[in-house]
Structure 1
Amino acid sequence: MRKFLKLFLTVLPFIYMGAIWYMSSQPDDLILDLPASSVDRFIKEALHLVEFAILYLLFAAALCAHNKLTSSWSTLAAIIACLYGVCDEIHQSFIPVRSASLIDVAKDVIGVLAAYFHVRFHYFKHHRGFLTIIEKLTKKAVS
């Protein structure tokens, strides 16, 4: 079971990246089709922050499952998640029904940074949160 969990957590960020790529290739109302309003726009704009915060957290979880989550690896995971946000915006610029903007990149980066600082505070400083649970579940029993 431990091996399956490690494998699942290792592959999950890449599956999620594929899902982001796929959703970026579709009209912006593919997943969330609300009547045109300021609430609809606000929710869709806020999803940028959440979407890339989740990507960073999935990378952190994968690293944690392999006992590799250090401050340096965490920073690298945040950089990769941010760069993927940039790549995703460039990708969207080639999709006729989508648009790309630096504001969207900024929202992606803010989402990653929010999650990054959350992990720094809760995992590295206080050693608590969901990453500590992953750490316990994937750690080999000491005989």
Structure 2
Amino acid sequence: MKFFKWVLRVLPALYMAAIWIQSSFSSDHFVRLPEEGLDNTIKESLHLVEFAILYVLLVLAFLSWRAGLGARLNVACAVFAALYGISDEIHQSFNPARSASLFDIFKDFVGISVCFYFVHGALFKGKFAGLRRMLGLVGA
């Protein structure tokens, strides 16, 4: 169980590094679907989940520590994920093969907000019992 907790603690940093590296290449560097419209739609919709995943990984990392995750730290995780999303857009703006936009940042915020709603509700509002049990397993 100790190994699992350490993996949870390292995952956010590894994921952030993966985002940074991926943002350094053109959007077609790793995957390009034959249908251009579908390719663009899928890649644009990934903004809804990319930084939401970072937020969830941060939450899991803090839940793995004895001190756990308080309401303020939960908000800090969401804010950090959002700021990292902004920094990713700034990073992309310096890459001629990429684009940056406020709409991408908005999509990042929407994804983070949806996950925040469920995590905050489960941990601090007594909602979503299944999610609360699952998140409780991390701290056990």
Q: TM exceeds 0.5?
A: yes
Are the structure 2 counterparts of residues 73 and 97 from structure 1 closer, same or farther at C-alpha, using a change threshold of 3 Å?
Answer: same
Q: Which amino acid aligns with 1:107?
A: K
Query: Which residue is equivalent to 2:94?
Result: 94
Percent identity (aligned): 43
| TM-score, normalised with respect to structure 2 | 0.89
Worse-superposed segment, 85-94 or 130-139 = 130-139
Alpha-carbon distance in structure 2 between the residues aligned to 1:20 and 1:137: 24
Instruction: Provide the aligned C-alpha RMSD in A.
Output: 1.8
Q: Which amino acid aligns with 1:95?
A: N
Are the structure 2 counterparts of residues 9 and 34 from structure 1 closer, same or farther at C-alpha, using a change threshold of 3 Å?
Answer: same
Is structure 2 residue 60 aligned with structure 1 residue 77? no
Q: Which amino acid aligns with 1:133?
A: M
Worse-superposed segment, 122-131 or 93-102 = 122-131
SS at match of 2:129: coil
Alpha-carbon distance in structure 1 between the residues aligned to 2:94 and 2:138: 42
Alpha-carbon distance in structure 1 between the residues aligned to 2:16 and 2:132: 20
Deviation at 1:137, TM superposition (A): 4.9
| TM-score, normalised with respect to structure 1 | 0.87
Deviation at 1:13, TM superposition (A): 0.6
5+ residue gaps, structure 1, are: none
* Contact residue 85 and residue 108 of structure 1 kept, 8 A: yes
5+ residue gaps, structure 2, are: none
Query: Which residue is equivalent to 1:126?
Result: 127
